[in-house]
């Protein structure tokens, strides 16, 4: 199971939570041949799953990602 650090988010809703940080650190390591900046980033476990889904189009991480959200919803009685 993925380790998460839920944080309550205040707003105009009844209950809001962030499951975790996406990126825990990011350091500029230089520029590519086109002049674009390159970074060495460290992500939380959940951040890494979301990165793989969004930028690597790895749909195999969907069940684990959804499982994390469901677990939080059930344990915090968010439904």
pLDDT tens by residue, 9-58: 999 998 888 999 999 999 999 999 999 999 999 999 999 999 999 999 99
pLDDT of residue 77: 67
Residues 6+ apart with CB under 8 A from 61: 49, 50, 52, 53
pLDDT of residue 35: 98
pLDDT of residue 12: 95
Residues 6+ apart with CB under 8 A from 17: 6, 7, 8, 9, 72, 76, 78
């Amino acid at each position: 199971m993925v380790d998460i650090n839920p944080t309550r988010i205040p707003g105009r809703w009844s209950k809001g939570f962030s499951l975790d940080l996406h990126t825990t650190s990011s350091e500029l390591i230089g520029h590519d041949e086109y002049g674009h900046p390159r970074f060495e980033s460290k992500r939380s476990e959940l951040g890494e799953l979301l990165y793989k889904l969004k930028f690597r189009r790895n749909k195999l991480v969907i069940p684990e990602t959804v499982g994390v959200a469901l677990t939080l919803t059930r344990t915090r009685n968010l439904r």
